[in-house]
Amino acid sequence: MNDTRFSSAIHTLILISESETAMTSEQIAESVGTNASYIRKLTGLLKRNGILDSGRGISGFRLNIHSEELSLKRVYEALYETEHVHLFDLHQNPNDGCIVGRHIKPVLTELFAKLEAEAGQALRAVTLADCIETMKTRIGRENK
Amino acid sequence: MNDTRFSSAIHTLILISESETAMTSEQIAESVGTNASYIRKLTGLLKRNGILDSGRGISGFRLNIHSEELSLKRVYEALYETEHVHLFDLHQNPNDGCIVGRHIKPVLTELFAKLEAEAGQALRAVTLADCIETMKTRIGRENK
C-alpha cells in the first residue's frame, strides 16, 4: 500500500535544485536510497510535465521552473498524471433498487471532489522553495 | 489499491440514520453491494468508536450520535483507527551520508503532518447530516 513516489520526488527535486553540478539518476538514487531506474521513472514523469530538463549536452537534470514557482500541486500532477488529488475511492456496486444506493454515488462524488479540491489547494500553497527553506533552517540549527 | 471503506461506511451510516427500522448487516450489505461480513467489519469499527450501537434486545444497528454531531473526521478515525488522515508515505531509506538525505525525513514529516491536519479539518467540517441533506436534495430534484 505504501506509495513513496511523492516523497521521493520532493527529495529528488531538492537535490537537483540545490546541487551545484547537474546530478545523474545514479547520484540521486544513492541519496534517496533507491535504484536509478526508479529515479528515472520519476524524472521521466517530471520531464514530461516540464518541471525538469535534461540532455542538451549536459549529463543529469536541471529544474525548468524556479523553485519558488514550483508548487507541490504541480509535482503531484506530474507524478500521478492527474489534476485531481486522490483521497478516497467510491464503492462500485451500490444497489439501484434502494433509494440510498441509487443516490449515493453522486453524493459522494460531489463530497470527495470538494475534499480533494481542498487538498489540492493546500498542495498549491507549498512550493519547492518552501521545502528547501525548511530544510536549510534545520541544517542551520544543526550547525549551531 | 482501491480502499472503499470510507465510502461504504458513509453509505452504511446514511442507511442506519434514515431507516425507520433498525437495519441488519445483511440488509445494509444488499444496499451497499457487498457482503454482510464486510459490513460487520465496518460496523464493528464504528461501534468500537461509539458511533453505532447494537444489541440491547433490538436486532440491527442504531446511531449513537446525532447525525448533526457526527463529523466525517470521527468516521474516518473509527475506520482507520487513527487520529491522522493519511495522505502520503515517506520513503524509508534516505542516505544519511548526504546532507539532503539526512534532513529529508523531518522536513517531509512536518510538511505531510501539516497537509494531513488540513485534510482532517476539511473532514471535521462535514457531518453525516450534511451528506443526508445533499442526498435529500437530489432525491427531491428527481421526484419533481
pLDDT (0 to 100) of residue B59: 74
Residue in chain A lying closest to B116 (CA):
A119
- Answer whether B110's CB lies under 8 Å from A134's CB: yes
**Choosing among A31, A116, A133, which should be mutated to test the B contact, i.e. which has the most B CBs within 10 A?**
A31
Q: What is the pLDDT of residues A21-45, one digit of tens each?
A: 889 999 999 999 999 999 999 999 9
Of A1, A33, A118, the CB nearest to B94: A33
- Residue B58: its pLDDT value, please? 64
pLDDT score of A143 more than 90? no
pLDDT digit string (tens) for A45-103? Answer: 999 999 999 866 667 899 999 999 999 999 999 999 999 999 999 999 999 999 999 99
| B32/A139 Cβ within 8 A | no
* B24-78 residue pLDDT tens: 999 999 999 999 999 999 999 999 999 999 866 667 899 999 999 999 999 999 9
Is pLDDT of A1 > 60?
A: no
Q: For residue B34, count other CB atoms closer than 10 A to its CB.
A: 21
Neighbour tally for B114: CB within 10 Å: 13
Q: Is a pLDDT exceeding 60 seen at residue A116?
A: yes
Cβ–Cβ gap B4/A92 under 8 Å: yes
pLDDT at B60: 87
Say if pTM beats, i.e. exceeds, 0.80.
yes
Higher pLDDT, B142 or A11: A11
pLDDT at B52: 95
How high does pLDDT run on average in chain B?
Answer: 94
Distance CA A39, CA A36 (A): 5
Per-residue model confidence (pLDDT) at position A120? 96
Per-residue confidence (pLDDT) for residue A60, from 0 to 100: 87
Fold classified for B5-143: Arc Repressor Mutant, subunit A (1.10.10)
Q: Which CATH number fits domain A5-142: 3.20.20.70, 3.10.450.230, 1.10.10.10, 3.40.47.10?
A: 1.10.10.10
Mind listing the pLDDT tens digit for each residue in B90-125?
A: 999 999 999 999 999 999 999 999 999 999 999 999
